[in-house]
Amino acid sequence: MMFQFENFSDFIYMAGHGQYVWTAYSVSLIIMAFIFVMPLFRKKNIIQKIIKKNH
Amino acid sequence: MKKLIKSSQQWVHKMASPRWFYQISGRWLPWLSLLTFVSIIIGVIWGLGFAPQDAKQGNSFRIIYIHVPASFLALVGYYIMAISGAIAIIWKIKLADVVMKSAAPIGASLTFIALLTGAVWGKPTWGTYWIWDARITSMLILFFLYLGVIVLQKAYSAQGLSNKAAALLALVGTINIPIIYKSVDWWYTLHQPATIKFTEAPSMHPDMFQPLLIMIIGFYLFYVTALIVSMRAEIIFRERNTSWVKELALNLKDKRPI
């Protein structure tokens, strides 16, 4: 198993396909991070409200 | 015998209790999150940098490592949503209803990722972002079915009625899944046939297939983890007036002020 690119700029450029590949990966991973983090904030929010109400 | 039935019923009820689920899943979550993170990071690095490029498609082929796992989980997630919706209306199990509600936005997001990566991949490969072919159109229908379930859950002021309507739509929509799956065989299409079939060895070279397998495992783990995180928030919301949730909130307040 070898790194497929000569150097870092080759890796970014990907022989002209870089824009497509990097767009696909970055947008997908951002959406996934978002789905994961949103409920955590939601839960924190609800718990804060419960604390406030019972204070 | 009667005793056995009774104790197994009790077990099912305990398993399906939101409180019990909240407590047990809290123990699983750190490990699941870690495993998800590690497998997706390995899969991404492998797919982007170390997997060989495709002889015909070049580097745009690397999009497969997001596109295929996302599409796969979008379909699996639909079954999970529809089946739990059915369980929720037939046996009135609260936890199944929580699963259905949490599964809908995750599935919609994965379907969106599948459509988006497909479009971005289509441009350098087919010369267009979008065509109305069978696979892509049926996938778009899947996206709208997910959105429909999300909207219906909020449609009626009576929660029970909303959930029933959403579960019914989810069930009717399952017809679409085999259509998506078979669309590349039934209709003439630009979309390539399935890369992985359960009945045959993969048509891909092992150097390309191994990172794909890692990514599919990573997306599965992601799905389970995201579902659990979302379910926990929903459980806290639904049980916000119960004593155990109040106790939990006040305990958290003492431990670390949030």
| ipTM of the complex, rounded to two decimals | 0.94
d(CA B258, CA B254) in angstroms, rounded, equals: 9
Residues 139-198 of B with CB under 8 A from A: none
Cβ separation A17–B58 shorter than 8 A = yes
d(CA A55, CA A36) in angstroms, rounded, equals: 30
Instruction: With beta carbons less than 8 A apart as the criterion, state whether B14 and B234 touch.
Output: no
Residues 15-34 of A with CB under 8 A from B: 15-18, 20-21, 23-25, 27-29, 31-32, 34
Mutate to test the interface with A, among B111, B236, B252 (most CBs of A within 10 A): B236
Mutate to test the interface with A, among B120, B227, B254 (most CBs of A within 10 A): B120
Give the model confidence (pLDDT) of B45-94 as tens digits: 999 999 998 888 999 999 999 999 999 999 999 999 999 999 999 988 89
Chain A hits for B237, Cβ within 8 Å: 42, 46
Query: In this complex, which of B40, B50, B236 lies closest to A1 when CB atoms are compared?
Result: B50
Mutate to test the interface with B, among A29, A35, A53 (most CBs of B within 10 A): A35
B74/A contact by beta carbon, under 8 A: no
Write out the DSSP string of A29-53.
HHHHHHHHHHHHHHHHHHHHHHHHH
In the predicted structure, residue B142 carries a pLDDT above the cut 80 = yes
Give the model confidence (pLDDT) of B174-211 as tens digits: 999 999 988 887 877 777 777 666 666 667 888 899 99
Query: pLDDT averaged over chain B?
Result: 90
What is the separation of C-alpha B133 from the centre of its chain, rounded to a whole number of angstroms? 24
Name the residue of chain A whose CA is nearest to B234's CA: A43
DSSP B156: S
Q: pLDDT: is B192 or B258 the higher one?
A: B192
Give phi and psi for B203, each to the nearest 5: -80, 0
Angle B216-B52-B217 from CA coordinates, rounded to 5°: 10
* Predicted local distance difference test score (pLDDT) of residue B156: 78
d(CA B147, CA B151) in angstroms, rounded, equals: 6
Give phi and psi for B58, each to the nearest 5: 70, -140
* Predicted local distance difference test score (pLDDT) of residue B258: 45
* Predicted local distance difference test score (pLDDT) of residue B96: 94
Cβ separation B48–A21 shorter than 8 A = yes
d(CA A21, CA A31) in angstroms, rounded, equals: 16
Cβ separation A46–B233 shorter than 8 A = yes
What CA–CA distances, in Å, run from B42 to B133, B136, B199?
33, 29, 27
Those residues with Cβ within 8 angstroms of residue B254's Cβ, 6 or more apart along the chain or in another chain: none
Cβ separation A4–B52 shorter than 8 A = yes
User: Of all helices (H) and strands (E), which one includes residue B52?
Assistant: none
Instruction: With beta carbons less than 8 A apart as the criterion, state whether B114 and B219 touch.
Output: no
Give the model confidence (pLDDT) of B9-56 as tens digits: 777 766 678 999 999 999 999 999 999 999 999 999 999 999 998 888
d(CA A52, CA B237) in angstroms, rounded, equals: 15
Half-sphere exposure of B107 (CA within 13 A, CB side): 29
